[in-house]
Chain A
């Protein structure tokens, strides 16, 4: 596949390298001359030394035939504009933006950029998976939706222990997919009373993660 990586900082450089190693064709657009020269030295003639937020350079980089444009500069407004221009002018099938401020995930979606990666969120989810004592693990985002998969354990002394699924009052648009109890799986009926040690598998809108956490652990 052909990928255009907009921004040749640390993220862009290593992404480009990894894509090349897995056999893809790439072009990096980097505006800093010295940085562009460094990448060319490391990866070969796969760099366009130009600003990626200008339409004509996106065309020059071949965005019209790219399978995806991935905007990974350190600035959210720049990544937004790169993705919008790539969609509008080059009709790229996928425009993926790195967001630095996690709040901007919602902003980007509202402005037509559905695929975002927040390094803050990725690191947070790693930390949370490393610290299972909190009992709340966002496992993964679900592709093509604004949903994520969460695993949550019912801990002693939390308001959710002893409640029914219905009484949890989870935010709208959230579903409990199943309950893992004593190694077996239980159908998540609305009336099932939750016991300490139960692990819930939940599908929830990403934006409501904090609310789900609150409903479970108070």
Chain B
């Protein structure tokens, strides 16, 4: 798959690394050059310096031919704007925006934009772990731990 990731902070870079080593064609976009240092060593994808809500930057990132676009910057609104541009203007089939405000995440999901809220996901997971319902996050945590171990090994 050809995947564009807007926002190369810790999460964006982590995901870019996973997809890259899974054999996908990854392009990451960020406003700050220093953000690309989060990418794992040996990252084979492309990095684009620029604003992910800018049509020309998205075009440069190859959004016209992308199968999926994920927006993972720190700004909910920026993420929603990039994701909507990708979906409505460039016709990207799968778009997912990180929206920390759970209510905004729901509203936009109802309007056809894939969203996830770190707030509600982590909150739900922690509650389940505390209240002795370990099944809820079992697979997720196992997978995350495996990824972490792989990363640590490489370093």
Contact = CB atoms under 8 A, between A and B. Distances in A.
User: Do the two chains belong together in a single complex?
Assistant: yes
Interface of A: 53-56, 75-78, 80-81, 84-85, 88-89, 101, 103, 107, 110-111
A201 B86 CA distance: 37
B103 A107 contact: no
A56 B102 CA distance: 12
B154 interface: no
Contacts of A77: 53, 75, 77-78, 80-81
A89 B89 contact: no
14 contacts: A53-B76, A54-B103, A55-B104, A77-B75, A78-B77, A80-B80, A80-B84, A81-B80, A103-B54, A103-B55, A103-B56, A107-B85, A110-B85, A110-B88
Contacts of B88: 110-111
Interface string B92-112: 000000000101100100010
Chief secondary structure at chain A's binding surface: helix
Interface of B: 53-56, 75-78, 80-81, 84-85, 88-89, 101, 103-104, 107, 111
Given A77-B80, A78-B77, A55 B107 contact: yes
B148 to A, nearest CB: 32
